[in-house]
């Protein structure tokens, strides 16, 4: 299993570039599917779970999905499960699964197939930047290939059948992760959320459903899955994201115009803390990384490699730190290791 090396480098979805990559971190599409003739997991026993996993793993093997490896989560420590969550390869729900469950993903980590999460199968594509259409197409491709070898629970009236009624129909959840520090600072973020919810989109935190938005990072995703086509749902998101990015950009300009010193003070103090702290908690790290990321994107901080910075968003998380050190560590020790890692990665450039 290749989990060890994961702790050393950030996920591919952090390597965003191109239009709006200053604000749009990543795009994600996931499809929820269940197998016909098998009970939903809410009512399944061990035997059912094993049968489902066996069928899906066989289909993955036959579907020609490329270089993809299966991680049986029953074999894996809770630390490794948390590592997979931190990389967005599995959901928190799957990390807590009991009985047969697992995930298949390739070395690029952009495509993952969760088995026995809430539904029998969750197909996920996570792409850096504004690549929602690409993610959608690749997810649909995977789905079509798998469907050649699997019979999905499908109703001609409702569409794909899922455990939770909010997923019935397309089974599609599309989301975009956005970095919105200026809207937060300007106290405009609630207005954005209100506008977003009016068009049936939801706002979530960095780690999906039920998690808090932290460090100015937000996921916008569709609420509705039923009664509209997949393409329409994707269109909704593709229409709103550039608008939110535009609001964020205008807020940055306004902040720069109204109080450039405060803006710079915030950005550079954050950089100073990251470069100098000898112990630092996750939340403080995320706050500072957010400020510095904005500073780099606004051209205030020079000589800072954006990918190194983005990768810290993941590498400083608890499981990554512990995998990196090769041992489980209490929170106080993680704070020390985290500070050291950040200092190593953000050494002031000499020139």
Kindly state the smallest distance separating residue 268's Cβ from its own copies, in Å.
Answer: 4
34 contact partners, CB below 8 Å, separation of at least 6: 40, 119, 120, 121, 152, 153, 160, 161, 162, 163
Give the integer Cα–Cα distance in Å for 223 and 285: 31
Tokens of residue 16, six digits: 């965003």
CB closer to its own copies out of 199 and 254: 254
CB closer to its own copies out of 28 and 338: 338
CB closer to its own copies out of 71 and 291: 291
Residues 327-346 that bind its own copies (CB under 8 A): 336, 339
Given a contact cutoff of 8 angstroms between Cβ atoms, the answer to whether 90 and 97 are in contact is: no
CB closer to its own copies out of 262 and 331: 262
The contact pattern for its own copies, residues 251-290, with x = CB under 8 A and - = no contact, is: ----------xx-xx--xx-xxx-xxxxx-----------
The contact pattern for its own copies, residues 139-178, with x = CB under 8 A and - = no contact, is: ----------------------------------------
Tokens of residue 167, six digits: 């997923």
Kindly state the smallest distance separating residue 291's Cβ from its own copies, in Å.
Answer: 11
| Residue 30, strand partner residues | 124, 173
Kindly state the smallest distance separating residue 351's Cβ from its own copies, in Å.
Answer: 8
Give the side-chain half-sphere CA count within 13 A for 324: 20
Count of chain residues binding its own copies (CB under 8 A)? 18
Give the integer Cα–Cα distance in Å for 122 and 280: 35
Kindly state the smallest distance separating residue 10's Cβ from its own copies, in Å.
Answer: 24
Kindly state the smallest distance separating residue 155's Cβ from its own copies, in Å.
Answer: 59
CB closer to its own copies out of 12 and 304: 304
Task: Give the three-state DSSP class for 281.
Answer: coil
Give the integer Cα–Cα distance in Å for 296 and 121: 39
Kindly state the smallest distance separating residue 330's Cβ from its own copies, in Å.
Answer: 13
CB closer to its own copies out of 132 and 339: 339
Give the integer Cα–Cα distance in Å for 300 and 313: 20
Kindly state the smallest distance separating residue 281's Cβ from its own copies, in Å.
Answer: 11
CB closer to its own copies out of 88 and 266: 266
The packing angle between helices 318-325 and 331-345, to 10°, is 80
Kindly state the smallest distance separating residue 90's Cβ from its own copies, in Å.
Answer: 33
CB closer to its own copies out of 57 and 279: 279
Residues 202-231 that bind its own copies (CB under 8 A): none
Kindly state the smallest distance separating residue 179's Cβ from its own copies, in Å.
Answer: 21
Which DSSP string do the residues of 193-254 spell out, in sequence order?
Answer: HHHHHHTTEEEEBTTBTTPPP-TTEEEEEE---SSS-HHHHHHHHHHHHHHHHHHHHHHHHH
Give the side-chain half-sphere CA count within 13 A for 295: 26
CB closer to its own copies out of 10 and 295: 295
Burial class (CB within 10 angstroms; exposed 0-12, middle 13-18, buried 19+) of 239: exposed
Return the number of other C-beta atoms located less than 10 Å from residue 98's C-beta.
10
Residues that bind its own copies (CB under 8 A): 261-262, 264-265, 268-269, 271-273, 275-279, 336, 339, 348, 350
């Amino acid at each position: 299993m290749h989990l060890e090396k994961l702790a050393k480098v950030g996920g591919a979805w952090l390597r965003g570039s191109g239009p709006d990559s200053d604000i749009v971190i990543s795009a994600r599409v996931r499809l929820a599917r269940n197998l016909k003739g098998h009970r939903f997991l809410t009512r399944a026993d061990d035997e059912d779970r094993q049968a489902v996993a066996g069928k899906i793993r066989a289909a993955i093997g036959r579907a020609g999905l490329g270089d993809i490896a299966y991680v049986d989560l029953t074999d894996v420590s809770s630390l490794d499960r948390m590592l997979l969550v931190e990389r967005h390869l599995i959901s928190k729900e799957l990390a807590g699964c009991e009985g047969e469950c697992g995930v298949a993903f390739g070395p690029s980590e952009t495509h993952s197939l969760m088995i026995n999460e809430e539904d029998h199968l969750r197909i996920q594509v996570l792409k850096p930047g504004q690549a929602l259409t690409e993610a959608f197409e690749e997810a649909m491709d995977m789905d079509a290939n798998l469907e050649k070898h699997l019979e999905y629970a499908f109703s001609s009236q409702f569409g794909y059948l899922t455990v939770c009624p909010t997923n019935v129909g397309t089974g599609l959840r599309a989301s975009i992760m956005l970095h919105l520090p200026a809207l937060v600072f300007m106290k405009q973020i609630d207005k954005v959320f209100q506008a977003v919810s009016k068009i049936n989109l939801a706002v979530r935190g960095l780690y999906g459903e039920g998690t808090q938005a932290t460090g100015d990072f937000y996921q916008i995703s569709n609420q509705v899955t039923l009664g509209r086509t997949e393409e329409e749902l994707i269109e909704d998101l593709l229409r709103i994201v550039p608008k939110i990015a535009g609001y964020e950009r205008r807020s940055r300009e306004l902040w720069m115009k109204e109080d450039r010193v405060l803006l710079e003070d915030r950005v550079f103090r954050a950089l100073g803390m990251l470069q100098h702290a000898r112990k630092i908690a996750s939340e403080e790290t995320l706050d500072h990384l957010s400020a510095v990321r904005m500073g780099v994107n606004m051209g205030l901080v020079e000589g800072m490699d954006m990918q190194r910075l983005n990768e810290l968003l993941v590498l400083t998380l608890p499981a990554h730190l512990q995998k990196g050190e090769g041992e489980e560590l209490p929170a106080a020790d993680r704070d020390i290791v985290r500070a050291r890692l950040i200092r190593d990665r953000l050494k002031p450039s000499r020139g």
